[in-house]
Amino acid sequence: MISPAFPSGPLVSMFWEAFPRDFMRQVLMCLRDAYPIASYQAYSGHEQPEADNLRPFLRRAYIEENLRHIARPFSATVTATAKRGNSNWWNHTLVECGSVSFTESTVFQPDQIVRWSRDRDQYSADNRQKLLFDERVEPSEKSLYGILLHGREGMDRAKLGFAVVRFPLPKVAGYYESRIDLLKEFPGIVDDMAKPQSESDPTEQIGDDIDIDILPEEDIGG
């Protein structure tokens, strides 16, 4: 679902006016590395049934932690903070630069709408059309929240396939049309790292859309 009544190009401009390009380049490198590293660690250290369960958790931990590490050299403008979920005990990292912020989520494809969470509902509240597109609203009064969506390359769970920033409608009911495709913004980044080899490389048995930052505790392993 998108909002066809308003142009969303200004959202992309607002994002890049806030975030340094070198910071986002390093974020993409983090995503690129997370997929092969998590796969290698899971399947080299565990048998397949346990590795199938563990791999997405390792990948998410790598990304969430490294978002905070990447932000440190940019601390004059960028902050990345571990946040405890409002409705459960999962942590997530909120990245902020001025009035623009984002979190990350794994999905199967770039148009997939992430599941609702109280945190994303709260973050996306400022993405109301009347605030973002009303010229009478001062730029200093506008806030923008994005979700960095990423997923694997086809059936290859050890390679990043896409990484896009989407701007959700309030309550994460859909997305505005514009997006930022980080692989197009920074071509060649993903191909710069060869896939690590492990003795076991079975077909993935679980969905890559596991969204650990919003799953209630009782859903783990379900």
Q: Are 114 and 211 in contact (CB under 8 A)?
A: yes
pLDDT in tens, 102-129: 999 999 999 999 988 889 999 998 777 6
Q: Are 117 and 111 in contact (CB under 8 A)?
A: no
Say what the pTM is: 0.81
pLDDT in tens, 150-199: 999 999 999 999 999 999 999 899 999 999 999 999 998 987 754 444 43
Query: Where would I find the H helices in 124-191?
Result: 129-132, 182-185
Q: Is 217 helix (H, G, I), strand (E, B) or coil?
A: helix
Reading the block at residue 147, the tokens are 């979700």
